[in-house]
Structure 1
């Protein structure tokens, strides 16, 4: 039997997890290998890039899409269990579960259309049927490539953010320094590493040079939090800046900020930049901190000027 496409793997993945127990992606792959009687040669088949195995890649995307649709729940990285929505999918659809079946869910449609949404997924999610039964209309090759890139980028951002939330506070401080240095702040890494995590008083976690010459400084507050940061924390940070006659500050958190906190940051004299966990993950990707390049595709077009006589 040839390797099934990723949509054909969606129902089998849900069926493996139907008993409600948590399983790792590796365990899911192992059961699917037996179910589809895949040979060793098929399991070793690589994508055109030569850097990833076709079967593992397809299982990974099946799991990712099911999670985005709320059919799977991940208690920790790489470990999944079925949700109430996933159980309902197994009951209410035919033998095949694909993208069109997942498009009935609002959060999955927003994901496919690249519209950010705040997920409140839980194991008890109920099925919410809609009239949407067809997938998004066909795209040009350029649009399809761009959408695929954005989906992979979105998935990577969430994966990076999940990893950030698991590190120690000390590692988080070093991570913040690495990102700022990669963006051009703080001079070299050795100088910057002495700036963060040493003051620790007055609502300020550290200081870093704004430029390699140290002509100005930026004060830093770094919070590895799950809950959103409210206005009182920003007020405290602003007061600390005022006490040092500072005009510039960066408040970084692994979560987000309330509307009141964001509005307050725009009202005061000091310039305070608020960086959410998602934006921090995006900056890490943009500046190659904690990520590495896997493959690069160069898209070319006809140079009509070359053929002009």
Structure 2
């Protein structure tokens, strides 16, 4: 039997989690190879990059899309489980779960919209390959799909952290972005520095400082005006005039207006922007594969 595509794998993957057990993704991948009766050669088949088995990659993408739709969840690293919505999807779709099925879930539609924005494409970016698409177009679509998926995953991982763990994540991101290279970036909440979770010292003596507030809130728990006002007060108490307020959630219009009108400059980074920055600067993510496209060097041949 040929190796199934990732959409064909979606319902079997959900069904493998139907007993409610939390399983390692490795177990799910092996279970799919067994269920579809793959030969030893098919199990060993690698992607063109030679870095991952084809069946592992396809099961991984099936899990990614199911997770984006809220039908599966990743409670911790390397583990997967079925959600209540996933159980309902199994009952409602006895034959097949695919991309068309996922369009009935708001969480998936949000993910798809993020993908479309990044790819500036139509339809299901990276899934339907237009006959006129160039290899460059296809790579860009695939990259956009991958980034949108991983950005959703890193926010869920951030929400699962403890408050201090989230503060540490923010500090590491700021360091990766190049802040504090001549000075330091440190987490301060553990020392009882009220109103401030981190301090970026841009010079060795700490004379040029940026203060950081990090709030790990549920995506539907927006940061409002009073929290910005409180942070501004903390800056004033430290005679600071620059701050960064970072959250996994979003800011109300009132919060943004408050940040604009106060004397101190406060940069607001919501969950969407935070996810983009984490992926962009490689914090909490790993490079899986790098694709290289080549083209004819006409100048080379003309010079011969």
For 1:110 and 1:260, the matched residues in 2 are separated by: 24
| Corresponding residue SS for 2:211 | strand
CA drift at 1:249: 0.5
**Aligned ranges for residues 75-114 of structure 1 at < 5 Å?**
76-77=75-76, 78-81=79-82, 83-84=84-85, 87-88=88-89, 91=92, 95-103=95-103, 105=105, 107-114=107-114
**Which residue of 2 is the match for residue 287 of structure 1?**
281
For 2:233 and 2:85, the matched residues in 1 are separated by: 47
**Aligned ranges for residues 1-309 of structure 1 at < 5 Å?**
1-17=1-17, 19=18, 21-24=20-23, 25-70=25-70, 72-74=71-73, 76-77=75-76, 78-81=79-82, 83-84=84-85, 87-88=88-89, 91=92, 95-103=95-103, 105=105, 107-114=107-114, 138=130, 140=133, 141-187=135-181, 191-193=183-185, 196-197=188-189, 200-210=192-202, 216-226=208-218, 227-307=221-301
CA drift at 1:194: 5.1
Per-residue deviation, residues 45-101 of structure 1 (Å, max 9, x unmatched)? 22121222211111121222233344x1326243221545764565457x4443344
CA RMSD of aligned residues (A): 3.3
Please say if residues 184 and 211 of structure 1, whose CA atoms lie closer than 8 Å, have aligned partners that are also in contact: no
CA drift at 1:234: 0.7
Distance change in 2, residues 1:84/1:224 (3 Å): closer
For 2:128 and 2:113, the matched residues in 1 are separated by: 9
For 2:89 and 2:13, the matched residues in 1 are separated by: 14
Distance change in 2, residues 1:295/1:224 (3 Å): same
| Corresponding residue SS for 1:298 | coil
CA drift at 1:236: 0.6
CA drift at 1:15: 3.4
Distance change in 2, residues 1:73/1:238 (3 Å): same
Please say if residues 185 and 199 of structure 2, whose CA atoms lie closer than 8 Å, have aligned partners that are also in contact: no
Please say if residues 177 and 192 of structure 1, whose CA atoms lie closer than 8 Å, have aligned partners that are also in contact: no
Please say if residues 167 and 187 of structure 2, whose CA atoms lie closer than 8 Å, have aligned partners that are also in contact: no
Distance change in 2, residues 1:290/1:207 (3 Å): same
CA drift at 1:26: 3.6
With structure 2 as the length reference, what TM-score do the two structures score? 0.78
Per-residue deviation, residues 255-295 of structure 1 (Å, max 9, x unmatched)? 33223212221222211011223423322322233333232
For 1:297 and 1:115, the matched residues in 2 are separated by: 19
For 1:272 and 1:116, the matched residues in 2 are separated by: 30
| Corresponding residue SS for 2:230 | helix
For 1:113 and 1:85, the matched residues in 2 are separated by: 21
For 2:108 and 2:101, the matched residues in 1 are separated by: 10
For 1:271 and 1:22, the matched residues in 2 are separated by: 49
CA drift at 1:156: 1.7
Give ranges in structure 2 of 5+ residues lacking alignment.
118-123
For 2:151 and 2:192, the matched residues in 1 are separated by: 29
More helix by share: 2
